[in-house]
Amino acid sequence: MTYLKDSRGAALPLTLVVILVLAILGVSLLTVASSSHSMQASQHRRLAARHIAEGGAETVYQAIKTSSSSVVYGHPFTVNLGNQPGNPTASVTVEELEDDTVLITSTGTYGSASATVKLAAIPGLPEVYTLGVYAGEGIHGKGDGKKNVVLGADIVSGGEIDGWSAPGHNVVENSPIAFPTVNRDDYESWPPPQDNGDKNHREIRIGPTGKAFLPNDVEAKNNLKIYGPGTLVIDGGLTEKNNITIHGAVTLIVIGDLTGKNNLEAVELTGSQLNLVVTGNVSLGNNSKVFGNIVVGGSLTVDQNTEVKYSPPVLGLVPDVIGGNREWSRVWIR
C-alpha cells in the first residue's frame, strides 16, 4: 500500500528563503545607489573646489599683468570670485622667484572639499622693448619718411614723429610709455672693458664676463668699434665724429647723450645685433643700419637712409621697466 506525504509545509521555508534573498538584493541596491550618490557628490565638491582655486589664480594673474596694487606678495590674501554662484572665495599666495617668475598658489574650498593649484606667471618684454624705435621726446629725420624706416615693428614717441616710416606697422606719436630705469649704481661694480684708448681708431671689447662698465664719457675722432657679445654701460655719453660699428650681439646702455656724425652700424649678415638704450638724446648722420632696436629717453634725430630691422633684446640684459605694460605668459603647474 502506498502512502502520500503532505507537502504543504515545505513551501514556507522556500518562501522565506526567496524573501530573504530579495531583501538582501534590495539592501545591496540601496547601498550601491547611496554610495554612488555619495561618490558623485564628493566628486562634485572636489571639482567645484578646483574651479574656485583656478578662478583665484586666474584673477590674480590678470591683476599682475596690469600691475594692480591689489596683489600682495609674500602673504596669503583672499580673492572674491563674486561672478560665480554663492560668491566663493579663494586663498592666494604670490611669490616672486629669482628669475622674476611669479608663482601663484591658490586654494579653493567647497563644502568639505578643498583643492590647491599653482600657476607660474612668466614676465616677458616690457612694451618699450617690443618697438623698433622709441623716443620720449620726438623722432625726426630728413625727407618724407621713405628714407628712414623701421622694419618688423612699430615706431612710437612721446613727442612728434617726422621723416620716418614703418611699412606694415604703426607710427604712433604723442604717446609716451614707461621708460627703462637706468641706475648707475647697478653697474658700477662691473669690470671695465678692454679699451685700446686710441681716439682715432678706438676699439672697446666687452670681455669674457659678458658685461662691462665705463665710468667716463667715450670720445672717438674717427671710428669706434664695439665688440660683443654682452652688455656695455657707458656713464657720461658717447661722441663719435665718424662711424660707430657693432660686432657681435651687444646691449649698449648710454647714460647721457649719443652723438655720431656719420653712421651707426650693426648688420645682421655679419652676426651683429644692437639693442640700444640711451637716457638722453641721440643724433646720427646718414646711412645707419641697425639690426635690433633703439630706445631713447630724449629725442632721436637722424639725417637720411636709416634702417632699423627689429630684433628683440634678451630680457635680463636690458634695464628693467617699472610699471607700464609688458608681455606675459603662464604655465599651470600640475
Q: Tell me the residue length of the chain.
A: 334
Closest CA to 48 of 58, 60, 40, 37: 40
From 124, 139, 125, 150, select the one nearest 176 (Cα to Cα).
Answer: 139
CB 308 within 8 A of CB 294: yes
**DSSP label of 208:** T
The least confident of 154-168, 209-223, 240-254, 263-277 is 209-223
**Alpha-carbon gap, residue 321 to 102, rounded angstroms:** 16
* DSSP designation for 193: P
Is pLDDT above 70 for 89? yes
Ordered alpha helix ranges (H), the chain = 11-65
Q: How far is CA 16 from CA 4, 9, 20, 51, 224, in A?
A: 25, 12, 6, 52, 108
User: Which of the residue ranges 19-23, 180-184, 198-202, 295-299 would you say has the lowest mean pLDDT?
Assistant: 19-23
Q: Tally Cβ neighbours within 10 Å of residue 302.
A: 27
What are the grid coordinates assigned to 40, written together?
A: 558623485
Query: 328 near 122, Cβ under 8 Å?
Result: yes
> Would you say residue 121 has pLDDT above 90?
yes
Q: Which amino acid is at 263?
A: N
Structural contact between residues 110 and 90, judged by C-beta atoms closer than 8 angstroms: no
Q: How far apart are CA 1 and CA 318, in angstroms?
A: 119
Cis peptide upstream of residue 85 (ω within 30 degrees of 0): no
177-186 average pLDDT score: 92
- Decide if pLDDT at 84 tops 70: no
- Is the pLDDT confidence value at 221 over 90? no
Task: Report the pLDDT value the prediction gives residue 245, as an integer from 0 to 100.
Answer: 93
pLDDT at 117: 95
Residue 269: what are its φ and ψ, rounded to 5°? Answer: -65, -25
pLDDT the model gives residue 33: 57
Closest alpha carbon to 191 in 176, 171, 205: 205
Rounded Cα distance between 262 and 244, Å, is 8
Q: What confidence tens digit (pLDDT) does each residue in 57-66 have?
A: 999 999 888 7
In the predicted structure, residue 34 carries a pLDDT above the cut 70: no
Rounded Cα gap, residues 251 and 277, in angstroms: 8
Position 10 scores a pLDDT of 61
Does the pLDDT of residue 250 top 90, yes or no? yes
